[in-house]
Structure 1
Amino acid sequence: MRITNKIMQRNNLSNINTNKMYQDKLSTQMSTQKKINRPSEDPVVAIRSLRLRSNVTEITQYYSKNIPDAESWIKITEDSLSKLSDIIANMAAQCTRGTNSDFTTTDRGTILEQLKLLADEVYATGDADFAGRYVFTGYRTDTPLSFLAEQERNYTITEQLDKNALDLFTSVNTGKVLDINSANYNDPNYSGINENDITSVDVHRIRLAYNNCVDGKTAGGDDIVPVISFVTGANSDGTVNTKVWADGDPLTTDNTTTPPFTKYQIKKVNYADDPYSQVAGDADAVIYVPETGELLFGDNAYKALMETKDDAATSNVNEGEIRITYQKSHWDKGDLRPEHYFACEADKLDDTGAVVTDDQGNPIRIPYNDTYLTTNAERQVIEYDVGFNQTIRINSRADECFKHGIGREVDDIIAAMENVQELERAQADIKAIMEKLPEGDAGMPTLQNQLDAVEKALTYAKKKEQKMFEGGISAFQKYLDEANLCVTACGSRGSKLDLIKNRSQNQKTTYETLKSQNEDIDITEVAIQLTSAELTYDAALMAAGKVMQTSLMNFI
Structure 2
Amino acid sequence: MRITNNMIMGNTKTNINSTKVLVDKYNTQMTTQKKISKASEDPVIAIRSLRLSTSLSHLDQYKDNNIPDASSWMDVTETALSNMKSLLTDIRTQCVNGSTDTLTADDRNTILQQLTALSEQVYTEGNADYAGRTVFTGYRTSSKLTFQKDTKSTYQITQEFSAADLSEKRYYTNGVTVPNSINAATPDCATDVTEHSFQRIRLGYGNTTDDVKLSIDGKELTQGTDYTVYKSVSDFDPSKLSADDTAYIQETGEFVFGKNVAASIKNNEKKLSVTYVKTGFDSSDARPEYYYNCKDITNAVTLDAGGNVPHDAAGDIIYSDPSKVVDFKFSSQEIKDTVANSTDITVNTQAKDVMDTGIKRDVDELIDVVQNAVNAHDKVSQIKKMMQQQQYSDKDSQAKLKTYLEAAEQEADYADNNLQKTYSQYITRFDDHLNKVNLALTNSGSTKSRLTLIKNRVEEQQTTIEELKSTNEDRDISDIIIDFYAMYNAYQSSLTAASKANSQTLLDYL
Q: Alpha-carbon deviation of 1:65?
A: 1.3
Secondary structure at 1:545 match in 2: helix
Q: Alpha-carbon deviation of 1:272?
A: 9.7
Q: Alpha-carbon deviation of 1:438?
A: 4.8
Q: Which residue of 2 aligns with 1:312?
A: none
Q: Alpha-carbon deviation of 1:448?
A: 1.4
Task: Name the aligned partner's letter for residue 329 of structure 1.
Answer: T
Q: Which residue of 1 aligns with 2:212?
A: 226
Task: Name the aligned partner's letter for residue 531 of structure 1.
Answer: Y
- Asked if 2 retains the 8 angstrom alpha-carbon contact of 1:348 and 1:363, the reply is no
Deviation by residue 1:70-93 (Cα, 9 ceiling, x = unmatched): 111111111211221121112111
Out of 276, 280, 290, the residue aligned to residue 340 of structure 1 is: 290
- Asked if 1 retains the 8 angstrom alpha-carbon contact of 2:157 and 2:275, the reply is yes
In structure 2, relative to structure 1, the CA distance for the partners of 1:422 and 1:385 (3 Å cut) is: same
In structure 2, relative to structure 1, the CA distance for the partners of 1:30 and 1:12 (3 Å cut) is: same
Secondary structure at 1:443 match in 2: helix
Query: How do 1:75-474 residues align onto structure 2 when only pairs under 5 Å count?
Result: 75-175=75-175, 177-178=176-177, 180-183=178-181, 185-186=182-183, 191-196=187-192, 198-214=193-209, 224-230=210-216, 242-246=218-222, 265-269=226-230, 274-278=235-239, 281-309=241-269, 320-347=270-297, 361=321, 364-369=324-329, 372=330, 378-436=331-389, 437-474=391-428
- Asked if 1 retains the 8 angstrom alpha-carbon contact of 2:154 and 2:296, the reply is yes
Secondary structure at 1:503 match in 2: helix
Secondary structure at 2:136 match in 1: coil
In structure 2, relative to structure 1, the CA distance for the partners of 1:439 and 1:47 (3 Å cut) is: same
- Asked if 2 retains the 8 angstrom alpha-carbon contact of 1:225 and 1:266, the reply is no
Secondary structure at 1:229 match in 2: strand
Secondary structure at 2:352 match in 1: helix
Deviation by residue 1:241-261 (Cα, 9 ceiling, x = unmatched): x43134xxxxxxxxxxxxxx9
Q: Which residue of 2 aligns with 1:492?
A: 446
Structure 1: 4+ residue segments shifted above 4 A: 185-188, 270-274, 358-363
In structure 2, relative to structure 1, the CA distance for the partners of 1:186 and 1:20 (3 Å cut) is: farther
Deviation by residue 1:27-72 (Cα, 9 ceiling, x = unmatched): 3333444322333322222222222222112222222211111111
Q: Alpha-carbon deviation of 1:524?
A: 2.7
Secondary structure at 2:419 match in 1: helix
Is 1:476–2:435 an aligned residue pair?
no
- Asked if 2 retains the 8 angstrom alpha-carbon contact of 1:36 and 1:519, the reply is yes
Deviation by residue 1:488-529 (Cα, 9 ceiling, x = unmatched): 111111111111111111111111211221122333322332
Secondary structure at 1:203 match in 2: strand
- Asked if 1 retains the 8 angstrom alpha-carbon contact of 2:380 and 2:405, the reply is yes
Out of 421, 430, 455, the residue aligned to residue 501 of structure 1 is: 455
Q: Alpha-carbon deviation of 1:542?
A: 2.7
Taking the aligned partners of 2:323 and 2:200, their CA distance within structure 1 comes to: 33
Task: Name the aligned partner's letter for residue 335 of structure 1.
Answer: D
Runs of 5+ in structure 1 lacking a partner?
215-223, 232-241, 247-260, 310-319, 373-377
Taking the aligned partners of 1:42 and 1:112, their CA distance within structure 2 comes to: 81
Q: Alpha-carbon deviation of 1:467?
A: 0.6
Out of 515, 518, 525, the residue aligned to residue 472 of structure 2 is: 518
Is 1:20–2:20 an aligned residue pair?
yes
- Asked if 2 retains the 8 angstrom alpha-carbon contact of 1:226 and 1:325, the reply is yes
In structure 2, relative to structure 1, the CA distance for the partners of 1:66 and 1:348 (3 Å cut) is: farther
In structure 2, relative to structure 1, the CA distance for the partners of 1:542 and 1:403 (3 Å cut) is: same
Taking the aligned partners of 2:323 and 2:208, their CA distance within structure 1 comes to: 19
TM-score, scaled to structure 1? 0.83
Taking the aligned partners of 2:231 and 2:491, their CA distance within structure 1 comes to: 111
Secondary structure at 2:432 match in 1: helix
Task: Name the aligned partner's letter for residue 380 of structure 2.
Answer: Q
Q: Alpha-carbon deviation of 1:441?
A: 4.7
- Asked if 1 retains the 8 angstrom alpha-carbon contact of 2:148 and 2:283, the reply is yes
20-29 vs 156-165, greater mean Cα deviation: 20-29
Taking the aligned partners of 1:101 and 1:463, their CA distance within structure 2 comes to: 8
Task: Name the aligned partner's letter for residue 45 of structure 2.
Answer: V
396-405 vs 534-543, greater mean Cα deviation: 534-543
Q: Alpha-carbon deviation of 1:170?
A: 1.1
Q: Which residue of 2 aligns with 1:545?
A: 499
Query: How do 1:527-546 residues align onto structure 2 when only pairs under 5 Å count?
Result: 527-546=481-500
- Asked if 1 retains the 8 angstrom alpha-carbon contact of 2:386 and 2:392, the reply is no
Task: Name the aligned partner's letter for residue 146 of structure 2.
Answer: S
TM-score, scaled to structure 2? 0.90
Taking the aligned partners of 2:298 and 2:184, their CA distance within structure 1 comes to: 52
29-38 vs 162-171, greater mean Cα deviation: 29-38
- Asked if 1 retains the 8 angstrom alpha-carbon contact of 2:299 and 2:325, the reply is no
Instruction: Give the alignment's Cα RMSD to 1 decimal.
Output: 2.4
In structure 2, relative to structure 1, the CA distance for the partners of 1:480 and 1:340 (3 Å cut) is: same
- Asked if 1 retains the 8 angstrom alpha-carbon contact of 2:134 and 2:141, the reply is yes
- Asked if 2 retains the 8 angstrom alpha-carbon contact of 1:167 and 1:206, the reply is yes
- Asked if 2 retains the 8 angstrom alpha-carbon contact of 1:172 and 1:461, the reply is no
Task: Name the aligned partner's letter for residue 226 of structure 1.
Answer: V
Runs of 5+ in structure 2 lacking a partner?
301-308, 310-317
Task: Name the aligned partner's letter for residue 173 of structure 2.
Answer: N
Taking the aligned partners of 2:430 and 2:233, their CA distance within structure 1 comes to: 35
Q: Alpha-carbon deviation of 1:477?
A: 1.3
- Asked if 2 retains the 8 angstrom alpha-carbon contact of 1:225 and 1:288, the reply is no
Secondary structure at 1:195 match in 2: coil
Taking the aligned partners of 1:540 and 1:385, their CA distance within structure 2 comes to: 59
Q: Alpha-carbon deviation of 1:444?
A: 2.1
